[in-house]
Structure 1
Amino acid sequence: MSLIAAAPPLVRTTPPEDPAPLGRVSAGVWWPEIDLADLRDAMRLDGAITPDRLLHATQEAVAATISQLATWASTREQQGHASLEDVPALKVDNESILVQRFRRAVYCHAKANLLERYSDYDTTGRARRKDQEDTRDDQAEQHRRDATFAVRDILGVSRLTVELI
């Protein structure tokens, strides 16, 4: 008697003790740099997302986040703050909560982008079911919501807008 076990292929990821230099995304001196290895680790992105895909998604995420914060940032620069880190704010673990929220917004935008753009990619070679697509769409929306919350928290505005129709 023999047994043939069909398991999904292994996806190699870089172990933390041997970090491959994925690089950083910078948007000038005012904004914090985004470390791609940290993003990959924080958002649980495995080796199925190539470094190039991660870079492109992160660049778009940084651009989208900065676009949403442009007016706010311009006001802070006019007040004499040299960087986001310099804007007075609560510090958690010795880091400005504004920097943490900026990073969260970028990470969530990037993950949502990857979930939407590569939802047809399947490392197992099996066809995707409709419920799997719905789950990915829901996950992408949750990440977009979290990014919106982070941006709104930086702006100091409510997370919820309600209108009567």
Structure 2
Amino acid sequence: MSGFIAGGLVPSNSVPGSHINSDPFWPSIDLDSLRETLRIDSSVTPARLETAVVAAIISVNRDLAKWRAANLAAGFTTLADVPGTEILGKSERLHLYVRAVECAAGAEVCERYRGYDSTASGAKNADENMPTIDDYRRDQRWAIRDFLGKSRTTVELL
């Protein structure tokens, strides 16, 4: 009997410790939920997914470091403590934080997996993934800007 799963989803019980925690201020990231949201199949191993999510968390946490520091100084110990609009019983900012991390991780996964097949079909698939990578990066930036209450567009007169 083979353990090979061609393009299937990784069963949730196959990834022990499927949450990644960073600073206690920020929520943990559920790897099973991220896998489902981004439709990441079993060709991306748990270790590679974890690496992409850790890089995403580092990036997003750096982007939000000043905001976090201001809120810690105001007495809020976690993102969930910061008052704000709720959607589905969770803070709007919590949803945006998770979205930013998911999008950053999705871009990382797409970038890393596009180069495995160097044949003509691999090059074609890499070209098809480019808009997806760009879309993930854009969505990450939008989630962070929405989180901070900033406009999504910057316009400069030349």
Say whether the fold is shared (TM-score over 0.5).
yes
Encode CA deviations 1:80-139: one digit per residue, 9 max, x unaligned: 1111111111000100111110000000000001111221125xx964254432221110
Instruction: Determine if the alignment matches structure 1 residue 59 to structure 2 residue 54.
Output: yes
Percent identical among aligned pairs is 34
Partner of 2:156: 163
Partner of 2:45: 50
Question: Rg: which structure is higher?
Answer: 1
Encode CA deviations 1:118-162: one digit per residue, 9 max, x unaligned: 21125xx96425443222111001001001100001111101101
Q: How many residues align?
A: 154
Q: Which runs of 5+ in 1 are unaligned?
A: 1-8
In 2, distance between residues paired with 1:19 and 1:100? 26
Structure 2 counterpart SS, 1:128: helix
State the TM-score, normalizing by the size of structure 2.
0.89
Partner of 1:88: 83
Answer whether contact 1:58 1:106 (CA < 8 A) is retained.
yes
**Which aligned segments of 4 or more residues in structure 1 are displaced greater than 4 angstroms?**
none
In 2, distance between residues paired with 1:54 and 1:155? 27
In 2, distance between residues paired with 1:132 and 1:15? 26
Partner of 1:10: 6
Partner of 1:6: none
Q: Which runs of 5+ in 2 are unaligned?
A: none
Instruction: Determine if the alignment matches structure 1 residue 139 to structure 2 residue 132.
Output: yes
In 2, distance between residues paired with 1:119 and 1:22? 27
Task: Give me the CA root mean square deviation.
Answer: 1.9
In 1, distance between residues paired with 2:122 and 2:41? 21
**Structure 2 counterpart of 1:153, from 129, 146, 157:** 146
Encode CA deviations 1:24-64: one digit per residue, 9 max, x unaligned: 11112100000111111111000010001000000000000
In 2, distance between residues paired with 1:68 and 1:45? 25
Answer whether contact 1:120 1:128 (CA < 8 A) is retained.
no
